[in-house]
């Protein structure tokens, strides 16, 4: 299971401020911020993570949810946690509403399968499925966006 980067966690909640803005707000050197945003959040000092999250106006609880809380879950526990964030009546998964039951089921089943392959489900997974199924963004564009994000 790959731990989320600080950049991913912030972007799941809000727009990522520019590094120069984070540098100004936190008094942390530019390189430290850049590195902290790229690597898994658990590989960065708590102080740096906390300062960046405060500057980005993201709750530290989000980091706990994305890292510590999910590391110890079995696939069955992960499935239960994921399923608690789905609603067939409203066709929502992690708060994202799908227009059809077909798109809802495709996304839900795909994420459930990935859980049993060892992947931790995130809102990013749902957003990517939404782009492809609801906005009709070609899969190669979705993949290119993901690759580009991890290269930056």
Nearest to 60 by CA among 23, 14, 25, 9: 9
Tens-place pLDDT, residues 61-72: 767 666 554 456
User: What is the three-state SS of 31-43?
Assistant: HHHHHHHHCEHHH
Sheet holding 92-93, edge to edge: 86-87, 92-93, 96-97
State the Cα–Cα distance between residues 29 and 127, nearest whole angstrom. 32
Q: Which residues contact 107 (CB under 8 A, 6 or more apart)?
A: 93, 98, 126, 129, 130, 133
Kind of pairing, strands 86-87 and 96-97?
Answer: unpaired
Cα distance between the two ends of the chain: 21
Residue 1: the pLDDT is 44
DSSP letter at 84 equals T
Tens-place pLDDT, residues 100-135: 999 999 999 999 999 888 887 888 889 999 999 999
Residue 70: the pLDDT is 45
């Amino acid at each position: 299971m790959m731990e989320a980067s600080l950049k991913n966690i912030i972007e799941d909640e809000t727009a990522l401020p520019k590094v120069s803005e984070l540098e100004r707000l936190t008094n942390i050197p530019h390189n430290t911020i850049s590195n902290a945003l790229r690597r898994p959040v658990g590989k960065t000092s708590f102080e740096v993570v906390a300062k960046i999250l405060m500057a980005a106006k993201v709750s530290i609880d989000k980091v706990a949810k994305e890292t510590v809380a999910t590391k110890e879950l079995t696939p069955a526990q992960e499935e239960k946690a994921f399923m608690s964030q789905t609603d067939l009546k409203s066709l929502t998964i992690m708060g994202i509403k799908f227009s059809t039951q077909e798109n809802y089921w495709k996304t839900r089943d795909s994420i459930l399968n990935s859980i049993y392959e060892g992947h931790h489900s995130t809102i990013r997974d749902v957003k990517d499925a939404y782009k492809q199924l609801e906005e009709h963004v070609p899969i190669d564009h979705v993949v290119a966006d993901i690759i580009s994000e991890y290269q930056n």
